[in-house]
Chains A and B, each alone.
Chain A
Amino acid sequence: MNQTLRIALRDLRGGLKGLGLLWICLAVAIAGLASVTSLASSVDSAIASNGRELLGGDLMFSVAQREATADEKAAIERLGRASKSVTTRSMLVAPNGQTQLVELTGVDANWRLAGKVDWGPRGRRPTGSEVAVGREVAERLDLRLEQEVRLGHAAFRIVSIIDKAPGGSGFALAPPAIVDEAGLASSGLIQPGSISTTSYRLLLPANVDLDETGKQFQRQFQNGGWRATTRDEAGAGTRRFIDRLGQMLLLVALSALAIGGLGMSSAAAAFAASRRPTIAILKLVGATRKTVTTMLLAEIGLISALAIVAGLAVGAMAPALVGKLTESMLPVAPDTAPQWVALAKAGLFGVLISFAASWRMVGSAAETKPARLLRGDVGNGDPMRWRTFILPVAALAIAAAIAVAGASDPWFAATGVAAIAGLCGLFALLGLAVRRSARAAKHLGGPVTRLGIAALDRPGAATGRLAVSLGLGLTLLITLAGTASSILAEIDTTIPKKAPALFLVDIPRAEEQRFLALAQAELPDAELRLVPSLRGPVTAVKGVRVTEMRDVPEGAWILRGDRGLTFARDLPPANRIVAGQWWPKDYRGPPLVSIDQDAATALKLKVGDTLTVNVLGRPIEARIASLREIDWRSMGFNFAIIFAPGTLEAAPYTLMATIAPPSKTSTVAFERKLAADLPMVSAIRVSDIVTQVKTLLESIDGAVRIATGFAILMGMIVLAGSVVATRRQRARDIVLLRLVGATRGEVARSQLTEFALLSAAVALIALAAGTIASWLVVVQVFEFPFSPDWEGLALIPVGALLLAVFAAFMAAIPALNVRPAEGLRAL
Chain B
Amino acid sequence: MSEPLIALDGVRLTLGEGDVRTEILRGVSLTLLRGEKVAVLGPSGSGKSSLMAVVAGLERADAGRVQLDGQDIGSFDEDRLARLRGRSVGIILQAFHLLPTMTALENVAVPLELAGASDPRGRAAFELEAVGLSHRLSHYPAQLSGGEQQRVAIARATAPRPRLLLADEPTGNLDSATGAAIIDLLFERAGKAGAGLLVITHDAAVAARADRIVRMADGQLAG
Q: Whose C-beta in chain B lies nearest to the C-beta of A373?
A: B97
Q: A285-B156, A289-B82 are in contact. List 6 more A-B contacts (CB 8 A).
A: A6-B113, A281-B97, A282-B110, A287-B86, A288-B82, A290-B79
Report which of A11, A280, A287, A289 forms a contact with B114, defined as CB distance below 8 A: A287
Enumerate B58-115 residues with CB–CB distance to A below 8 Å: 58-59, 78-79, 82-83, 85-87, 91, 93, 95, 97-102, 106, 110-111, 113-115
Check if A286 sits within 8 Å of B58, measured CB to CB.
Answer: no
Bound-state CA distance A3–B115 (Å) is 10
A374 partner residues in chain B, CB cutoff 8 A? 49-50, 52-53, 58, 93, 168
Q: Answer yes or no: B160 CB below 8 A from chain A CBs.
A: yes
Q: Which residues of B contact A280 (CB under 8 A)?
A: 97
Residues of B within 8 A of A823 (CB): none
Question: Given the complex, which residues of A lie within 8 Å of B86, measured CB to CB?
Answer: 285-287
CB distance from A213 to the nearest CB of B (A): 69
Q: Is there a chain B Cβ closer than 8 Å to A12's Cβ? A: yes
- Check if A285 sits within 8 Å of B79, measured CB to CB: no
CB distance from A8 to the nearest CB of B (A): 10
Q: Hey, which chain B residues are within 8 Å of A376, CB to CB?
A: 95
Size band of the A side of the interface? 20 to 34
Q: Which 6 A-B pairs have the closest CB atoms?
A: A286-B86, A371-B58, A14-B101, A285-B111, A288-B79, A13-B101
With A and B bound together, what is the CA distance between A376 and B56 in angstroms?
A: 17
Given the interface contacts A282-B110, A288-B79, A371-B58, does A10 sit within 8 Å of B102 by beta carbon?
yes
- Residue A75 CB within 8 A of the other chain: no
B182 → chain A closest CB, angstroms: 19
CA distance A819 to B160 in the complex (A): 46
A278 touches B113 (CB 8 A): no
Among the listed A11, A288, A291, which residue makes an inter-chain contact with B99, where contact means beta carbons less than 8 Å apart? A11
Q: How far is the CB of A689 from chain B (nearest CB, A)?
A: 67
CB distance from B194 to the nearest CB of A (A): 20
- Judge whether A284 and B85 touch: CB under 8 Å: yes
A286 surroundings in chain B (CB, below 8 A):
82-83, 85-87, 111, 114-115, 160
The residues of A that contact B79 with a CB separation of less than 8 Å are: 288-290
Chain B 24-53 interface 0/1 with A at a Cβ cutoff of 8 Å (1 = within): 000000000000000000000000011011
B165 to chain A, nearest CB (A): 13
Identity of the chain A residue whose Cβ is nearest the Cβ of B93 in the assembled complex:
A373
Question: Is the pair A7, B91 in contact by a Cβ cutoff of 8 Å?
Answer: no
Whether B101 contacts A284 by the Cβ 8 Å rule is no
Within the complex, which residue of B59, B83, B91, B115 is in contact with A284, where a contact is CB–CB below 8 Å? B91
Interface pair B58/A3, CB less than 8 Å apart? no
Q: A735-771 CB contact bits vs B (8 Å, 1 = yes)?
A: 0000000000000000000000000000000000000
**30 pairs of residues in contact across A and B, judged by CB atoms under 8 Å:** A3-B114, A10-B102, A11-B101, A11-B102, A278-B101, A280-B97, A282-B110, A283-B78, A283-B82, A284-B56, A284-B58, A284-B97, A285-B86, A285-B110, A285-B111, A285-B156, A286-B83, A286-B87, A286-B111, A286-B160, A289-B78, A371-B53, A371-B58, A373-B93, A373-B97, A374-B50, A374-B52, A374-B53, A374-B58, A374-B168
Q: Is A561 an interface residue (CB 8 A)?
A: no
CA distance A280 to B91 in the complex (A): 12
> What's the Cα separation between A374 and B114 when bound, in Å?
22
Tell me whether A291 and B58 are in contact (CB under 8 A): no
Closest CB in chain B relative to A272 CB, distance in Å? 16
Taking the complex as formed, is A652 at the interface, i.e. its CB lies under 8 A from any CB of chain B? no
In the complex, chain A residues 362-405 whose Cβ is within 8 Å of any chain B Cβ: 369-371, 373-374, 376
Contact B99 A278 (CB under 8 A): yes
Q: Kindly supply a per-residue 1/0 record for chain A positions 255-298, scoring 1 wherever the CB is within 8 Å of any chain B CB and 0 otherwise.
A: 00000000000000000000001101111111111110000000
Please indicate the chain A residues that have their CB under 8 angstroms from the CB of B156 in the complex. 285
Cβ distance A124 to chain B, nearest Cβ, rounded Å: 72
Which of A7, A280, A370 lies at the interface centre, i.e. has the most chain B CB atoms within 10 A of its CB?
A370
Task: Enumerate chain B residues within 8 angstroms of A290, measured Cβ to Cβ.
Answer: 79
A291 CA / B110 CA spacing, docked (Å): 12
A10, A277, A373: the one contacting B106 at CB < 8 Å is A10
Closest chain A residue to B49 by CB distance? A374
Q: Specify which of B53, B98, B100, B106 is in contact with A14 (CB 8 Å cutoff).
A: B100
Task: Determine the distance from Cα of A278 to Cα of B160 in the docked complex, in whole angstroms.
Answer: 19
Q: How far is the CB of B109 from chain A (nearest CB, A)?
A: 9
- A370–B113 Cα distance when bound, in Å, is 19
- The CA-CA distance from A284 to B102 in the complex, in Å, is 16
Interchain nearest-CB distance for A378 vs B (Å): 10
Q: How far is the CA of A430 from the CA of B110 in the complex (A)?
A: 46
Cβ-defined contact, A288 with B83, below 8 A: yes
Most buried by A among B79, B101, B106, B168: B101
Return chain B residues, CB-CB under 8 Å to A369.
58
- In the complex, the answer to whether B58 meets A281 with C-beta atoms within 8 Å is no
Which residue of chain A is the closest to B168 with respect to CB atoms?
A: A374
Complex contacts, B56 vs chain A, CB 8 Å: 284
A277-B97 in contact (CB<8A) = yes
Q: When chains A and B are docked, how far (Å) is the Cα of A9 from the Cα of B192? A: 34
- Least Cβ distance of B172 to chain A in Å? 12
Please name the residue on chain A nearest to B88 by beta carbon.
Answer: A286
A283, B59: Cα distance in complex, Å: 13
**Closest-CB distance, B189 to chain A (whole angstroms):** 16
CB neighbours (8 Å) of B52 from chain A are: 374
Measured between alpha carbons, how far is A281 from B110 in the docked complex, in Å? Answer: 10
Residue of A nearest to B54 (CB): A371
Asked if A371 contacts B85 (CB within 8 A), the reply is no
Residues of A within 8 A of B98 (CB): 281
For the complex, what is the distance from the CA of A373 to the CA of B111, rounded to whole Å? 17
What is the chain B residue whose CB lies nearest that of A289?
A: B79
Of all chain B residues, which has the CB nearest A376?
Answer: B95
Residue of A nearest to B97 (CB): A281
Question: In the bound complex, do residue A285 and residue B83 qualify as a contact, i.e. CB atoms below 8 Å apart?
Answer: no
Rounded to whole angstroms, the CA-CA distance of A285 and B158 in the bound complex is: 11
In contact, A291 and B114 (Cβ under 8 angstroms) = yes
Q: How far is the CA of A286 from the CA of B52 in the complex (A)?
A: 16
Task: Evaluate contact between A7 and B113: CB separation under 8 angstroms.
Answer: yes
In the complex, chain B residues whose CB is within 8 Å of the CB of A289: 78-79, 82
- Per the bound structure, the CA–CA distance linking A285 and B108 in Å amounts to 10
Q: Judging by beta carbons under 8 Å apart, are A282 and B114 in contact?
A: yes
Q: Give Cα distance in the complex from A755 to B147, angstroms.
A: 47
Contact A285 B101 (CB under 8 A): no
Q: Which of A4-53 contact B (CB under 8 A)?
A: 6-7, 10-14
Whether A285 touches B85, Cβ cut-off 8 Å, given contacts A369-B58, A371-B53, A374-B53, is yes
A16 CB → nearest B CB, Å: 12
CA distance A83 to B146 in the complex (A): 91
When distances are taken between beta carbons in the complex, the residues of chain A under 8 Å from B114 are 3, 282, 285-287, 291
A510 to B220, CA, bound (A): 119
Q: How far is the CB of B65 from chain A (nearest CB, A)?
A: 19
Distance in angstroms between the alpha carbons of A286 and B84 in the assembled complex: 7
Could you give, for residues 101-132 of chain B, a 1 whenever the CB lies within 8 Å of some chain A CB and a 0 otherwise?
A: 11000100011011110000000000000000
The closest CB in chain B to the CB of A283 belongs to B82
Complex Cα–Cα for A376 and B95 (A): 10
Inter-chain CA distance A376–B49, complex, in Å, is 12
Chain B residue nearest in CB terms to A11: B101
Write out the residue numbers on chain B whose beta carbons fall within 8 Å of the beta carbon of A14: 100-101
Q: Taking each of B52, B58, B116, which has the highest tally of chain A beta carbons within 10 Å of its own beta carbon?
A: B58
The residue of chain B having its C-beta at the shortest distance from the C-beta of A280 within the complex is B97
Interface string of A332-346 (1 = CB under 8 A from B): 000000000000000
Residue of B nearest to A13 (CB): B101
Are A285 and B91 within 8 A (Cβ)? yes
Rounded to whole Å, the gap between the CB of A281 and the closest CB of chain B is 5
A376→B114 CA distance, assembly (Å)? 24
A-side contacts of B78, CB under 8 Å: 283, 288-289
Rounded to whole angstroms, the CA-CA distance of A87 and B99 in the bound complex is 79
A282 CA to B97 CA, complexed, in Å: 10
Chain B residues within 8 Å of A6, by CB: 113
